[in-house]
Structure 1
Amino acid sequence: MLLTESDPGLQLVFRNGTINPINNFRILTKNNLTQVFPLSEELIIIMFCEINTNCYNGMIIDLNGIIIVDNIQLGGITQITKDNAPSIGFLGTFLLNNTINWIKFRIPDQNSYTNNELQIANGIISARMNYSITEVALFNNIDGSHAIVYSSQLKYYGSNLTYILDQSYFTINICFYNEDTRVTNNPIQIYDSVQNSISLSIDPVFAYDNINCWSGFNYNNSISNICTFPFQYRTINVTIVNVWLIAFSSVGTVFQSHSLVHRDWYHTSQQPSAYYEEIYGVIPLPFGEILVYVTDYNTYGLVDPSKSHTYETLDLKNMSSSYYFETLRNFGVIPNNTAWLFYSDSRNANWSLFIKEMPKINDDALYENSIIKSVSPNHNMTFQLPTQLDFSIDITFTIPIVKSSGNLTIYQSTQIRQNFPINSKYCNISDGTMLSCTVFPSTFNSENQSYMITVDNNFVKSASNYESLAGIKKNIWIVSTSSRKVPYKIAESTTATLRLIEDSNNIKLDKNFYDMLQQQLIDSIPLNDKDRLKPTKHINDPTSANKILMEFLITKANSTEYPDVSNIINVLDNLIQNKDASALVQYNLTKFLDPSYGFKANPSLIQIFLEVKYELLGIGILFIILFVGYFGLKKRNPKGNNLVIFKVPFIVMDLILDLLFITQNAHEIRSIFISRFTTFNYSDYLQAKYYYLQ
């Protein structure tokens, strides 16, 4: 995000290089001092406060500058988590009286009204006795849950550790926020030092945080969270400048802890008390290495995170030719491995933005995820319709995986075509590293259209340590369809039925229900002509109690360019049978549709005849045999009760049908009325006749 004096708008710079201006930014903020952060992929939060000061109110806007929620009560927070999942929310903290105060917020829904009361929970994290909390950092795990990392230092310089429980002068601790209980767990210590003169290296000009943590880092071909922090400790003869790296799990188990970069500065006899202050900025790159920035001469180097380096072994490079006059204010990296750096020029009031693409040492399948080796279909692939029945989406990883709880979603424009959990029946893992998810025939069913595939974070986990893996964000994986190989057919109009799983007492089957259901079915197919699918009537299902059959008229297309009647029926049948994951999942009336019934075409008389032709043939042969037998008996015994040859088969058939009804369908009938036999009374008949004649 860029904001300049000459341009009153906020410039949003996206990963693909496009820029979206928010021209009303100064109007929104009324020229007040603000901090601006990306809250999620779709929202931005504006906090009305200066850096490192308490923020008490703010607003949330979308990427077009439209206010979603105004006058949010922030409670005095000084920082928030970034890259938040909308379903989980975000966390904010501030430090007061040696205590970390945290507040949990929900993220508003863009499509519905939301008031400014976004706070969900709050709590505190107190420092240990005799220790002072010196810095606090926030980050999110890959699954979206929040973590609070903080450093603490012994209050009294040079204190005797003999009197301190869990002896250490300097510690790094972490707390995780639990979404279910809405509290943080007890602090977990992930680093400690017994050096009594250790301190974090702090640059008053450099705005980058001293403790920096990232989730989902590909460390030694294994996924973990990592934190880095620069510190110094001093003795009489030497000052040691160090950058430390800690790799740990999402529950606080430390995998690795070692020095990343260190440098020893020896004091001379002429200046025995001179201490050299050297500042390092550290940030991991998405594809394996770590970028180390040395502020002395604006130089940078790339280091292997699994090794310890000295200043002398760093292959340092200058970021610009005018490095002597420039001061680094902040820097970072975007998911495609491109570093960005902001400088201010000491000769004037100019600020500069440098962009530099960094080398990638891990696999890059062009999906901004170093763990993904390949996908199918590939990005920008075009395939013809109709798709094969066994069509699937395949993602191959560089490490063994297991299923987790994220979703894979396929969009056509902004409409969901398919959405299902990875741990559902539609997805399977083969060879330990490849995830295959079945694609419905109703998903890619429109000609010459683009589709976007996204995968949630935490959709799979590492099989080795069960750490969540990152997914694929929006606008990265795009596929498209071409024209159909075989054009549609012109077929006559017909009717088809679906079944509602609730009875008419729970559903008000009025025009409003008809219209809403019609529109949702049309959007899910999709159809451009609303008149091609019309509800006509509904009846109680005679074969299943408490259920209703709804009939629809599907009119024929005017051209082979449009879906024919058979295609519409097949697509709707597939959508309804898979309603928990198909395009219908986004609509509210789908809960009434019976997936076991689907969408069935009503048979014509010819179709009915063809379906029961053998049964009709058998019945015809049976009647011929009965008639032949009847006339044979009548010839032999003209006065006998020869009709018994017809009565006996019908009595047997009636008994069989009754037994089948009792065993198969009686439980579906609410009540059965038993006939009551009464003796015919002739006087009652005459009285009734007289009554009606009157």
Structure 2
Amino acid sequence: MGLFMTFEGTIISTTKLHDALIDYGGILKYWVVVPISSPSDGFLFYCRGANINGEIIEIASEIIQTKIKVVSVTAFYVLERGSVTSIGKMTNVNFTYGFNLIPLRFGGYLILVYQGDINFGYVLNEDGNVYSNWSLPQPLVLPKYQSAYVVLVNNSFVFVENQNNSIWNVTRDDLYRFYRQDNRLNNPIIESTSPIIGSQVNESTKKLQFTFAYPVTLSNSNISIYQQINGSNDLLRQRFQGDASSQLCHLYSNDNKTVIIQVFPSTFNEPNSLYYVTIENNFVKRSDSDEALLGIDKNLWTLTTVENKNYVYSSQITGVIRLTPDGSNHYLSLSSVDQQKFHKQLATDLSSIIPVEDNRLTAADGLEKDMSTGSLQILLPFNIKDTTNLSKKSANKIYQDFNTLLKYKEYSALMNYNTTILIDETYPMTIAPFLLRDYTELIIGIVLLTIALLILYFLASRKFKKARNLAMFNLIFIVIDLGLRISFFVNDAHKVPELYVPTLIILIISIFINTSASFAITIHEISKNPDFSKWASKYGQFLPILTIISAGRIEALNVLTSKFGMLEIFSATFSEVAEKIIFFVGILCLFVCEIPQFIIQQYFGV
């Protein structure tokens, strides 16, 4: 039994173990392993890489040497989870210099043999036998303190040499691939993708899939789809873990080799654009060993969307979104100036995420407070401008794309911004009513009614000059005002707890004062005013209706004395006491009810 340790840094094969631990800051991790034969001088070489099975491996080597000359190398291949998969004996190694052993992703190894600045490169096969020299000069002079090298995931060897203070020389050698020589994803275990690299996709694309060389299980790393903006910025369109949800990602049940992922309707929503898919390591594991497998790096699995299409024109939209309770508390904690900045920044961030031009999605004035969920939440409005260029998204398309992003907020770029993360995903953007569009029939009805009343007023004024014809208009407005106040209390006041109780109190006081005064006037006039008592004997059945209407404003009683149309029903006579009561009660309600109600609504922004 032995102890396999890994530590930070790069060491050469002649470095002693205790020196390496001191130089590089201690052990990163260790495993207890049982090798076939215990090394006699400790593990003196270590490197990390991936093998042809797409598994992330550690390689430790036992060096058996006589004085300086290396006579054999035993390599222990250890998986990420700590199990030894194989122990290979490289018996044909006969080097008298130091060396570095580097695993190649598409099979085999690169071994660099060096003494000072002199370097030799050899490609070894999976058995550790020399397959070929590299194609670079043999030997290659790499000044120790003026050069650096790296082996890339596509089996390329690159070294950089500083020839002088201003000139650097970069050289690359494409090393031999033992497996999948045509693989463009730098992952030897992915056999195919659908769509293939460079394919065209469109908004109706609903899924992507890719197939591994052997059965896999889904794990907890991410798969992401990005859109390139202006050739440099990468905009996240969607991201989720392999084991997030079977609706988002699942395996083809027949063989468990093919992974199928859902594509959101808003992902490929930008025509004539470049997208790419990235898959993190450990997105899937081998089903037989539970080992994490390699993914796909950025800009390898690329896709393009089809050319511009003509959208259907739609008019401007004012949409309302809701902040989460935490977001609402944060918003209310800001000063009025900072609230405006937050609102504008939210519009800017949404424009970047959807994406759409900044000047087409802007913050609108105002806010509302919503208590429908039991906690205070802020509603913020935004204007989505239309465009006459039908090759660009319509206002309605922008609205739809945002709601799709919001539906999948957890998996979109909405989670990446300090502002958009505060949007409530349970409340889709709602289109604010637009009078001319949404209330056309009602507006036409009001206009026609107003015209009819004006015609009647002028005809009545012309024919009955002694009548107070405006009293009938006042009565109509009083009825409408009372209806709106009751509707506001029932439908809106409860959304803001600070508004509910004051509104209820003011409404009750107003109705009580007006109704009581109306009832008192009616009793007083019947008992004290003979003319009114005579009128009441004929039209008394009309008094209860008018008393109810006067709950809105006591001035509704004035219609009884207006002589509208010179009709007898509107020809009652009030005493001077009744007229004074009507006047002073109206003044009282103005200061006690109307003005406080207006102040409260303005204060709470409703």
Q: TM-score scaled to structure 2, two decimals?
A: 0.59
In structure 2, the CA distance between the partners of 1:421 and 1:531, relative to structure 1 (3 Å rule), is closer
Alignment correspondent of 1:648: none
Q: Which amino acid aligns with 1:408?
A: I
Alignment correspondent of 1:622: none
Alignment correspondent of 1:29: none
SS of 2:185's equivalent?
A: coil
Say yes or no: does 1:429 pair with 2:251.
yes
Q: How many Å apart are 1:96 and its aligned residue?
A: 7.5
| CA distance, structure 1, for counterparts of residue 398 and residue 422 of structure 2 | 20
Q: How many Å apart are 1:571 and its aligned residue?
A: 0.9
Counterpart mapping for 1:477-516 below 5 A: 477-485=301-309, 487-502=310-325, 505-508=329-332, 510-516=339-345
Alignment correspondent of 2:228: 412
Say yes or no: does 1:539 pair with 2:359.
no
Q: How many Å apart are 1:606 and its aligned residue?
A: 9.4
Say yes or no: does 1:584 pair with 2:414.
yes
Alignment correspondent of 2:287: 463
Say yes or no: does 1:375 pair with 2:193.
yes
Instruction: Indicate if the aligned counterparts of 2:45 and 2:61 stay in contact, CA closer than 8 A.
Output: yes
Q: How many Å apart are 1:564 and its aligned residue?
A: 0.9
Say yes or no: does 1:358 pair with 2:176.
yes
Match among 57, 66, 69 for residue 225 of structure 1: 57
Q: Which amino acid aligns with 2:323?
A: L
Counterpart mapping for 1:253-652 below 5 A: 253-262=83-92, 277=96, 280-293=99-112, 301-305=122-126, 307=127, 309=129, 314-317=130-133, 319=135, 323=138, 332-340=150-158, 353=171, 355-362=173-180, 364-383=182-201, 385=202, 387-388=203-204, 391-409=206-224, 410-413=226-229, 414-422=233-241, 423-425=243-245, 426-431=248-253, 432-485=256-309, 487-502=310-325, 505-508=329-332, 510-541=339-370, 543-545=372-374, 546-602=376-432
**CA deviation map 1:48-107 (0-9, x unaligned):** xxxxxxxxxxxxxxxxxxxxxxxxxxxxxx96489xxxxxxxxxxx9888964765xxxx
In structure 2, the CA distance between the partners of 1:247 and 1:505, relative to structure 1 (3 Å rule), is closer
Q: How many Å apart are 1:361 and its aligned residue?
A: 1.4
Match among 242, 246, 250 for residue 80 of structure 2: 250
In structure 2, the CA distance between the partners of 1:280 and 1:343, relative to structure 1 (3 Å rule), is farther
Instruction: Indicate if the aligned counterparts of 1:500 and 1:549 stay in contact, CA closer than 8 A.
Output: yes
In structure 2, the CA distance between the partners of 1:192 and 1:365, relative to structure 1 (3 Å rule), is closer
Instruction: Indicate if the aligned counterparts of 2:121 and 2:133 stay in contact, CA closer than 8 A.
Output: yes
Unmatched 5+ stretches in structure 2:
1-6, 442-489, 525-576, 589-606
Q: Which amino acid aligns with 2:427?
A: Y
| CA distance, structure 1, for counterparts of residue 260 and residue 249 of structure 2 | 6
Instruction: Indicate if the aligned counterparts of 2:61 and 2:76 stay in contact, CA closer than 8 A.
Output: no
Instruction: Indicate if the aligned counterparts of 1:398 and 1:433 stay in contact, CA closer than 8 A.
Output: yes
| CA distance, structure 2, for counterparts of residue 333 and residue 504 of structure 1 | 51
Instruction: Indicate if the aligned counterparts of 1:462 and 1:468 stay in contact, CA closer than 8 A.
Output: yes
Q: Which protein has the bigger helix share?
A: 2
In structure 2, the CA distance between the partners of 1:534 and 1:317, relative to structure 1 (3 Å rule), is closer
Q: Determine which structure has more spread, i.e. the larger CA radius of gyration.
A: 2
In structure 2, the CA distance between the partners of 1:564 and 1:96, relative to structure 1 (3 Å rule), is same
Match among 27, 32, 49 for residue 188 of structure 1: 32
Q: How many Å apart are 1:245 and its aligned residue?
A: 1.6
| CA distance, structure 2, for counterparts of residue 192 and residue 344 of structure 1 | 45
In structure 2, the CA distance between the partners of 1:295 and 1:553, relative to structure 1 (3 Å rule), is closer
Q: How many Å apart are 1:515 and its aligned residue?
A: 0.8
SS of 2:366's equivalent?
A: strand
Q: State which drifts further: 351-360 or 415-424.
A: 351-360
In structure 2, the CA distance between the partners of 1:395 and 1:438, relative to structure 1 (3 Å rule), is same
| CA distance, structure 2, for counterparts of residue 342 and residue 527 of structure 1 | 42
Instruction: Indicate if the aligned counterparts of 1:216 and 1:225 stay in contact, CA closer than 8 A.
Output: yes
Q: Which amino acid aligns with 2:420?
A: T
Q: How many Å apart are 1:354 and its aligned residue?
A: 5.8
SS of 1:523's equivalent?
A: helix
| CA distance, structure 2, for counterparts of residue 427 and residue 454 of structure 1 | 15
| CA distance, structure 1, for counterparts of residue 190 and residue 119 of structure 2 | 34
Instruction: Indicate if the aligned counterparts of 1:244 and 1:258 stay in contact, CA closer than 8 A.
Output: yes
| CA distance, structure 1, for counterparts of residue 140 and residue 424 of structure 2 | 71
| CA distance, structure 2, for counterparts of residue 99 and residue 324 of structure 1 | 31
SS of 2:306's equivalent?
A: strand
Cα RMSD for the two superposed structures: 4.8
Q: How many Å apart are 1:483 and its aligned residue?
A: 1.8
SS of 2:405's equivalent?
A: helix
In structure 2, the CA distance between the partners of 1:319 and 1:525, relative to structure 1 (3 Å rule), is closer
| CA distance, structure 1, for counterparts of residue 251 and residue 156 of structure 2 | 32
| CA distance, structure 1, for counterparts of residue 39 and residue 373 of structure 2 | 78
Q: TM-score scaled to structure 1, two decimals?
A: 0.53
Alignment correspondent of 1:214: 48
In structure 2, the CA distance between the partners of 1:505 and 1:327, relative to structure 1 (3 Å rule), is closer
SS of 2:411's equivalent?
A: coil
SS of 1:393's equivalent?
A: strand
Relative contact order higher in (CA < 8 Å, ≥ 6 apart): 2
Q: Which protein has the bigger strand share?
A: 1
Q: How many Å apart are 1:261 and its aligned residue?
A: 3.5
| CA distance, structure 1, for counterparts of residue 438 and residue 288 of structure 2 | 58
Instruction: Indicate if the aligned counterparts of 1:190 and 1:252 stay in contact, CA closer than 8 A.
Output: no
In structure 2, the CA distance between the partners of 1:493 and 1:327, relative to structure 1 (3 Å rule), is closer
Instruction: Indicate if the aligned counterparts of 1:540 and 1:547 stay in contact, CA closer than 8 A.
Output: yes
| CA distance, structure 2, for counterparts of residue 434 and residue 372 of structure 1 | 10
Identity percentage of aligned residues = 22
**CA deviation map 1:118-174 (0-9, x unaligned):** xxxxxx56xxxxxxxxxxxxxxxxxxxxxx4xxxxxxxxxxxxxxxxxxxxxxxxxx
| CA distance, structure 1, for counterparts of residue 71 and residue 384 of structure 2 | 76
